[in-house]
A and B are shown apart, each in its own frame.
Chain A
């Protein structure tokens, strides 16, 4: 077993095992000592992964799940290990060097559309909440206790300009470059399902394409990988309907607000002593720049 590069919240371990004398390459996923309260449990993430796998989403095949913390210190699950890398910066740099990767942007669109084909009610996903975005952001800002008028300004703008709600679908809620394993021009696994919930499909479209997730390649609107229209065309091919770019931009504002809220919460984990970390501390210093961008978007006539 060897520790793989993991997130701030979870740990991933590479496992070489032998099953009926056949060699297996697996990944064991479990929690860090401290976990974000809004993050899903490993058992729930396993159920999401199974639902996604059955719906044809490209994920690492989920194999076993152990809810008993007595076995490994925390609940864990095991999935098949897949090839590829998931570095947002490296992908964006490589895509920009060739003037944008249209094929890979479209592949991301197709994957997201497959996720959105999963619709409530689903008995095995009964733990998922319905997401009221603006109310949730305001509650999190209140809980954090630091007034952030620029984010309030952005949320009020969203409230005043809200388009009619679409029927809820399964949202990944962290579908961005860096959370999708890629090999060449192909997606090999959609990762990190712990923030999933039911909601408006445009929320995920805005998250993937927001400037904060373009890894320095601002001109490649689809995740720093390729053009927006290629991503939306990939989505349309799999979804059977074409997203409205104006509504995607409305949710890019939502994405920037939400990332600012999450970044501020991550800094609080450091400040409170819950998890002392320079990375979390520096994430807090990204918040003012994000707030500035929110104000800019909310006052730029974003629909």
Chain B
């Protein structure tokens, strides 16, 4: 078993130090860089989403019109795309989903 605290804990603790202690001491023109570093740490601390194998071949299907409204594959493919996207947004940009739901 790896020594605790684990990676997400370390990143969260380091990020808090950066934002709460270091950021206010930085000159204004360098604060954006500190915020970018904090954002990278926030994303890196989240677990990676699983690979979505169900979407293999989706591009060709969509381009060929086989997932258009009225086609049998339409609803199932749309649901699969949403599920995969929800998992990726949860890591990269959780607010994108909280704002609106398709």
Bound state CA distance, A254 and B63, in angstroms?
16
B55 within 8 A of A: yes
- Asked if B96 contacts A289 (CB within 8 A), the reply is yes
- Residues B70-102 near A (CB distance < 8 A): 77-78, 81-82, 84-86, 88-89, 91-93, 95-97, 100-102
B: number of interface residues (CB 8 Å): 33
- Asked if B97 contacts A292 (CB within 8 A), the reply is yes
- Asked if B78 contacts A292 (CB within 8 A), the reply is no
- Asked if A295 contacts B65 (CB within 8 A), the reply is no
Q: How far is the CB of A280 from chain B (nearest CB, A)?
A: 11
Bound state CA distance, A289 and B86, in angstroms?
9
- Asked if B96 contacts A152 (CB within 8 A), the reply is no
- Residues B21-58 near A (CB distance < 8 A): 33, 36-37, 39-40, 43, 55-56, 58
- Asked if B88 contacts A288 (CB within 8 A), the reply is yes
Most buried by B among A141, A156, A160, A293: A156
- Asked if B81 contacts A295 (CB within 8 A), the reply is yes
- Asked if A289 contacts B93 (CB within 8 A), the reply is yes
Q: How far is the CB of B20 from chain A (nearest CB, A)?
A: 20
> Given A286-B93, A289-B93, are A278 and B81 also a contact pair (CB < 8 Å)?
no
Instruction: List chain B residues, Cβ under 8 A from A288.
Output: 85, 88-89, 91-93, 96
B16 within 8 A of A: no
Q: How far is the CB of A60 from chain B (nearest CB, A)?
A: 24
Q: How far is the CB of B2 from chain A (nearest CB, A)?
A: 26
A: number of interface residues (CB 8 Å): 27
Nearest-neighbor residue (CB-CB) of A297 within chain B? B102
Instruction: List chain A residues, Cβ under 8 A from B78.
Output: 153, 295, 299
A265 within 8 A of B: no
> Given A149-B58, A149-B62, A156-B67, are A292 and B85 also a contact pair (CB < 8 Å)?
yes
A287 within 8 A of B: yes
A296 within 8 A of B: yes
B68 within 8 A of A: yes
Bound state CA distance, A153 and B85, in angstroms?
13
- Asked if A285 contacts B59 (CB within 8 A), the reply is no
Instruction: List chain B residues, Cβ under 8 A from A23.
Output: none
Instruction: List chain B residues, Cβ under 8 A from A281.
Output: 40
A183 within 8 A of B: no
Interface residues of B (CB under 8 A from A): 33, 36-37, 39-40, 43, 55-56, 58-59, 62-63, 65, 67-68, 77-78, 81-82, 84-86, 88-89, 91-93, 95-97, 100-102
Interface residues of A (CB under 8 A from B): 138, 141, 147, 149-150, 152-153, 155-156, 160, 278-279, 281-282, 285-293, 295-296, 299-300
10 CB contacts below 8 A, A to B, read: A152-B59, A153-B81, A156-B65, A160-B65, A282-B36, A285-B93, A288-B96, A289-B93, A292-B86, A293-B100
